Amino acid sequence: MKKYIFIQNDPFYLPRVLDSVLKVYGDSVVGVNIQSVAQGKRSVFGTAMDLLKLYGFGYFQWKLRKYLWCKLKAKVINGWLGRMDRCYSVGAVARKHGVEVTEAVNVNSDEFRAHLREHGVEFIVSISGTQFYGKKLRDQTSAGIVNCHGALLPKYRGLMPSFWTLANGEQEGGVSVHFVNEKLDDGPIVVQRRYPIESTDTLEDIMARSKAIAAEAIIECIGLVEAGNPPLMDNPEEESSHFSMPTRDDVRRFRQHGHRFA
């Protein structure tokens, strides 16, 4: 089964997730589409300004410095020096495994859908993707599109599920790999994994833990879909909760539960 991976351009945790998946399925993945880090309809700059207001200057500048440092290492170590013993971007991981990369494209466009057909793509895996996948794209993908979401669906649909899990004082988090339909985070669940949350956990702790088990869940999901008729779990709308960009009041609630950003 020929596969295509849609993945967010995040240099912190996603290179390792993609590397784990391609180590198992790299021979049948015909392309990786790298999507913007912008959230929803925001621009990259708008997303950055929203995160600055949310996080405050201290954590925001720490995260920005880490982001730029990863970008520099990807450029120098993976790009100029050609060393791939450790990859600092999802693009470098794809190149390491000999997988074609596309960037800055509308995956719903006629041109990109034709590109997928030319490559015989039957199955798409979205890992923290930031685009909505329209009906024409879903209809032409014979085995479907699955998305990996960092929460125990149907709860915590929408943006920043790791933050909201901590802000609401949950003692358990998880990831869900589900089929994509016409609604956000709404399709039936193929694989769901859980992890405990400690009172001392930071947001960085939870994001790292979530992405580590995300790789395992994605690999399991692909195997089940390839085997045919994967067992599905309900993802009922009536039990769902939806979240968007947090406010400073939400950050205060997050801190009241004893959590920090890093």
Summarised one tens digit per residue, pLDDT across range 33-59 is 999 987 667 788 888 898 999 899 999
pLDDT > 80? residue 62: yes
The half-sphere exposure of 155 on its side-chain side, counting CA atoms within 13 A, is 12
Phi, psi of 108 (to 5 degrees): -90, -5
Structure tokens, 195: 């992890």
Summarised one tens digit per residue, pLDDT across range 202-240 is 999 999 999 999 999 999 999 999 999 999 999 999 999
Secondary structure class of 76 (helix, strand, coil): helix
pLDDT > 80? residue 80: yes
Tell me how many degrees the CA angle 152-234-9 measures, rounded to the nearest 5. 45
pTM of the predicted model as reported, rounded to 2 decimal places? 0.95
* String of DSSP letters for 177-237: EEE--SSTT-SPEEEEEEEE--TT--HHHHHHHHHHHHHHHHHHHHHHHHHSS---B---G
At 39 the pLDDT is 66
What are the distances in angstroms from CA 49 to CA 8, 44, 151, 155, 224? 19, 9, 25, 27, 40
At 46 the pLDDT is 87
At 42 the pLDDT is 75
At 28 the pLDDT is 98
Roughly what angle, to the nearest 10 degrees, separates helices 44-55 and 248-256? 50
Summarised one tens digit per residue, pLDDT across range 7-35 is 999 999 999 999 999 999 999 999 999 99
* Distance in angstroms (rounded) separating the CA atoms of residues 113 and 259: 43
Summarised one tens digit per residue, pLDDT across range 159-194 is 999 999 999 999 999 999 999 999 999 999 999 999
Say whether the peptide bond before residue 196 is cis (omega within 30 degrees of 0).
no
Summarised one tens digit per residue, pLDDT across range 130-156 is 999 999 999 999 999 999 999 999 999
Secondary structure class of 242 (helix, strand, coil): strand
At 45 the pLDDT is 86
At 13 the pLDDT is 96
What are the distances in angstroms from CA 138 to CA 29, 60, 134? 18, 36, 6
Superfamily of chain region 3-256: Formyl transferase, N-terminal domain (3.40.50.170)
At 40 the pLDDT is 63
